Amino acid sequence: MYIDEMHIRSYHVLRSIWSEGGRQKQVPTFGHHAHVSLFGAVNIHDGETVLHQTTAANAATFLDFLRMLKERDPDRLMVLVLDNARIHHAKMVKEFLREEGPCFHFLYLPPYSP
C-alpha cells in the first residue's frame, strides 16, 4: 500500500472588493481557520483506498492509522510505501513496530522524490 497524509484548510482570502473612495471596507474574520487532517492508503493490487480523518497529523495519529490498517487485515504482512516525514520515523512508531512484530514492512521513498 502507498500511504500519505494531507491537511485540508479553509482559508478565506479577500482578493478584491468595491468600496467607496476614501473609506476602507471592514471585513470581519473569525480568528481561526477550519482544518482537518487525513491519512490515506491505496492498495496497488486492487485500488482499494483507506482513509482516516483526524484533527492533526502527528506520530500518535499516525499510530492510530497503522492500528486501523492492522485491524482490517490482522494476519497479513503489509508493505507500506511512504515518504520520509518525521512522524514516520518517530520513536513511538519504531517501538510500535518492534512490539507488533512483522505486521508491517516500511519502504521509504528517496528524499524529495516526486
Higher pLDDT, 28 or 74: 74
22 compared with 88, residue with greater pLDDT: 88
Poorest-pLDDT segment among 5-14, 61-70, 100-109: 5-14
pTM, 2 dp: 0.78
E-strand ranges in 1-114 read: 2-9, 35-42, 49-54, 78-82, 104-108
User: pLDDT tens digits, residue range 54-78?
Assistant: 999 999 999 999 999 999 988 889 9
Helix%, strand%, coil% for the chain, nearest 5: 25, 30, 45
Q: Which residue has the cell 482516516?
A: 52
> Measured between alpha carbons, how far is 38 from 57 in angstroms, rounded to an integer?
8
> Which one-letter amino acid corresponds to residue 39?
F
Cell of 64: 492510530
